Structure 1
Amino acid sequence: MEPRENTPLHTALAAATDDRITFDLAGIEAGYDTLRRELPGVRVRFAVKACPVDEVLACLAAKGAGADAASVPEMEQALRAGVPVGRMHYGNTVKSDENIADAYRLGVRDFATDSVEDVTALAVHAPGSRVFCRLATSGDGALWGLSDKYGCSPADALLVLETARDLGLTPAGLSVHVGSQQMTAEGWHSAFEQLADVLTELRRRGISLDHVNLGGGLPALGYLDRHGRPLDPPLDKIFAVIREGTRHLGRIPGHRLAFVMEPGRHLVADHGAIRAHVSRLSARRGPDGERRWWLYLSCGKFNGLYEMDELRYRLVFPTHQMAGRETEHVRAVVAGPTCDSDDAYAHDSGLTPVPRALASGDPVWVLSCGAYATSYMTRGFNGFSPLPYTWTGPAGRPDSRTEPGG
Structure 2
Amino acid sequence: MSGLPGDHDTAAIRAALAAATEDLIVYDLDEIAARYTSLLAELPGISVRFAMKACSVDQVLTSLAALGAGFDAASPQEIEQALRTGVPPNRIHYGNPIKSDRNIAAAWQLGIRDFATDSLADVAAIATHAPGARVFCRLATSGDGALWGLSRKFGCSGEDAVLVLEAARAAGLTPAGLSVHVGSQQMTSEAWHTALEQLAVVLDSLQLRGITLDHINLGGGLPATGCLDRHGHPLHPPLDKMFIVIREGMDRLREMSTVPLRFLMEPGRYLVADAGAVRAQVARLTSRRQSGDDRETWLFLSCGKFNGLYEVDELQYRLEFPGRGDSERVPARIAGPTCDSDDAFGTEGMVQVPRDLASGDPVWIFSCGAYATAYTTRGFNGFEPLPVLCVDRQESRT
What is the TM-score normalised by the length of structure 1? 0.95
Q: Deviations over 1:358-384 (max 9, x none)?
A: 000000011011110001000111111
Cα deviation, residue 2, structure 1: 6.9
Q: Deviations over 1:224-244 (max 9, x none)?
A: 000110011001110111100
* 1:187 is the counterpart of 2:191: yes
Residue in structure 2 matched with residue 135 of structure 1 by the alignment:
139
2-side partners of 1:199 and 1:66: how far apart?
Answer: 24
Q: 1:46 aligns with which of 44, 50, 54?
A: 50
Structure 2, unaligned runs of 5 or more: 1-6
Could you tell me whether the CA contact under 8 Å between 1:319 and 1:362 is conserved in 2? no
Residue in structure 2 matched with residue 398 of structure 1 by the alignment:
396
| Partner-residue secondary structure (3-state), 1:201 | helix
2-side partners of 1:72 and 1:207: how far apart?
Answer: 29
Residue in structure 2 matched with residue 106 of structure 1 by the alignment:
110
1-side partners of 2:68 and 2:334: how far apart?
Answer: 40
Residue in structure 1 matched with residue 381 of structure 2 by the alignment:
382
Residue in structure 1 matched with residue 67 of structure 2 by the alignment:
63
Cα deviation, residue 255, structure 1: 4.0
Residue in structure 2 matched with residue 332 of structure 1 by the alignment:
332
Could you tell me whether the CA contact under 8 Å between 2:47 and 2:69 is conserved in 1? yes
Aligned runs of 1:5-404 on 2, under 5 Å?
7-321=11-325, 326-347=326-347, 349-393=348-392, 395-400=393-398
| Partner-residue secondary structure (3-state), 2:280 | strand
| Partner-residue secondary structure (3-state), 2:82 | helix
User: How many residues are treated as equivalent by the alignment?
Assistant: 392
Cα deviation, residue 289, structure 1: 2.6
| Partner-residue secondary structure (3-state), 1:251 | helix
| Partner-residue secondary structure (3-state), 2:298 | strand
Q: Deviations over 1:373-400 (max 9, x none)?
A: 001000111111111111102x152221
Cα deviation, residue 202, structure 1: 0.6
Distance verdict in 2 for CA 1:144–1:211, change over 3 Å:
same
| Partner-residue secondary structure (3-state), 2:210 | coil
2-side partners of 1:2 and 1:263: how far apart?
Answer: 17
Could you tell me whether the CA contact under 8 Å between 1:209 and 1:256 is conserved in 2? no
Could you tell me whether the CA contact under 8 Å between 1:203 and 1:255 is conserved in 2? no
| Partner-residue secondary structure (3-state), 1:318 | coil
Could you tell me whether the CA contact under 8 Å between 1:89 and 1:108 is conserved in 2? yes
Cα deviation, residue 354, structure 1: 0.4
Q: Deviations over 1:84-137 (max 9, x none)?
A: 211010000000000000000000000000000000011111011100000000
Instruction: Give the residue type in structure 2 aligned to 1:241.
Output: V
Moved over 4 A (4+): none
2-side partners of 1:354 and 1:96: how far apart?
Answer: 48
1-side partners of 2:319 and 2:293: how far apart?
Answer: 28
Cα deviation, residue 40, structure 1: 1.3
| Partner-residue secondary structure (3-state), 2:41 | helix
Instruction: Give the residue type in structure 2 aligned to 1:263.
Output: P
Instruction: Give the residue type in structure 1 aligned to 2:332.
Output: A
Could you tell me whether the CA contact under 8 Å between 1:2 and 1:316 is conserved in 2? no
Cα deviation, residue 83, structure 1: 2.0
Could you tell me whether the CA contact under 8 Å between 1:8 and 1:396 is conserved in 2? no
Distance verdict in 2 for CA 1:313–1:172, change over 3 Å:
same
Cα deviation, residue 201, structure 1: 0.7
2-side partners of 1:74 and 1:248: how far apart?
Answer: 34
| Partner-residue secondary structure (3-state), 2:16 | helix
Could you tell me whether the CA contact under 8 Å between 1:45 and 1:262 is conserved in 2? yes
Structure 1, unaligned runs of 5 or more: 401-406
Could you tell me whether the CA contact under 8 Å between 2:8 and 2:367 is conserved in 1? no
| Percent identity for Structure 1 against Structure 2 | 65
| Partner-residue secondary structure (3-state), 2:256 | coil
Deviates more, 1:252-261 or 1:145-154: 252-261
1-side partners of 2:153 and 2:8: how far apart?
Answer: 36
2-side partners of 1:253 and 1:329: how far apart?
Answer: 59
Instruction: Give the residue type in structure 2 aligned to 1:304.
Output: G
Cα deviation, residue 288, structure 1: 3.3
Distance verdict in 2 for CA 1:36–1:253, change over 3 Å:
closer
2-side partners of 1:191 and 1:268: how far apart?
Answer: 24
Could you tell me whether the CA contact under 8 Å between 2:180 and 2:218 is conserved in 1? yes
What is the TM-score normalised by the length of structure 2? 0.97
Could you tell me whether the CA contact under 8 Å between 1:215 and 1:261 is conserved in 2? yes
